[in-house]
Amino acid sequence: MVGLTACGSEKSGDDKASDKASDKSGQSGMSPLAALKLASQQTDKKNSAKVEGTTKMGEQNSQMSGSMDWANGIRANMSITQSGGAVASSPIEGKPMDARYTPDAMYLNMGDEFAAQAGGGKHWVKYDYDVLAEKAGPSGAFLKDQMQNNNPSRSVELLLATGKVKSVGTEDVKGVKATHYTGTVNVSEIAKMQSKELSQSDLDALQKQLESSGMDTETIDLWVDDQNLLVKKREQAESNNGAYDSTVYYTDYGTSVTVEEPSSSDTVDFQDMLQQ
138-147 burial code (b ≥16 CB/10 A, e <16): bbbbbbbbbb
pLDDT digits (tens, 9 = 90+) for 185-220: 887 666 666 666 667 777 777 777 766 777 778 899
Percentage of the chain beyond pLDDT 90 is 53
Rounded Cα gap, residues 194 and 132, in angstroms: 18
Question: Does residue 3 surpass a pLDDT of 80?
Answer: no
Q: How confident is the model at residue 266 (pLDDT cuts 50, 70, 90)?
A: very high
| Per-residue pLDDT tens over the stretch 18-76 | 333 333 444 556 899 999 999 999 999 999 999 999 999 999 999 999 999 999 889 99
Rounded mean pLDDT of the chain? Answer: 83
* Exposure string for 2-15, b = 16+ CB within 10 A, e = fewer: ebbbbbbbeeeeee
Cα distances from 23 to residues 27, 38, 148, 169, 256, in angstroms, run 9, 16, 37, 15, 29
Asked whether residue 232 carries a pLDDT value surpassing 90, the answer given is yes
Q: Where residue 271 falls among pLDDT bands split at 50, 70, 90?
A: confident
| Percentages (nearest 5) of helix, strand, coil residues in the chain | 35, 35, 30
Q: Look at 5-14, 164-173, 246-255, 257-266 and tell me which has the smallest mean pLDDT.
A: 5-14
> What is the arithmetic mean of pLDDT over 228-237?
95
pLDDT of residue 216: 77
Range of the structural domain that residue 210 is part of: 2-275
- Total structural domains within the chain: 1
Q: Residue 258 burial (CB < 10 Å; 0-12/13-18/19+)? A: exposed
Backbone φ and ψ for 207, nearest 5 degrees, come out as -60, -40
State how beta strands 176-186 and 217-225 pair.
Answer: antiparallel
Distance, CA of 48 to CA of 70 (rounded, Å): 6
d(CA 45, CA 230): 12
pLDDT 10s digits, 84-139: 998 998 888 999 999 999 999 999 999 999 899 888 999 999 999 998 888 877 77
Contact criterion met (CB below 8 Å) for 62 and 255: no
pLDDT at site 35: 94
pLDDT interval class at 267 (50, 70, 90): very high
Predicted pLDDT of residue 201 = 75
Q: State yes or no: pLDDT of 155 exceeds 90.
A: no
| Confidence grade of residue 158 (pLDDT, cut at 50, 70, 90) | confident
Indicate the length of the chain as a whole number.
276
Residues 162-178 have pLDDT tens digits of: 788 999 999 999 999 99
- CATH code, 250: 2.50.20.20
- Which residues, 6+ apart, have CB-to-CB distance to 27 below 8 Å? 35, 38, 39, 179, 224, 226, 228
Q: Which of 221, 223, 225 is nearest to 235 (CA)?
A: 221
> Is the Cβ–Cβ distance between 226 and 16 less than 8 Å?
no
Q: Are 267 and 122 in contact (CB under 8 A)?
A: yes
| pLDDT (0 to 100) of residue 47 | 94
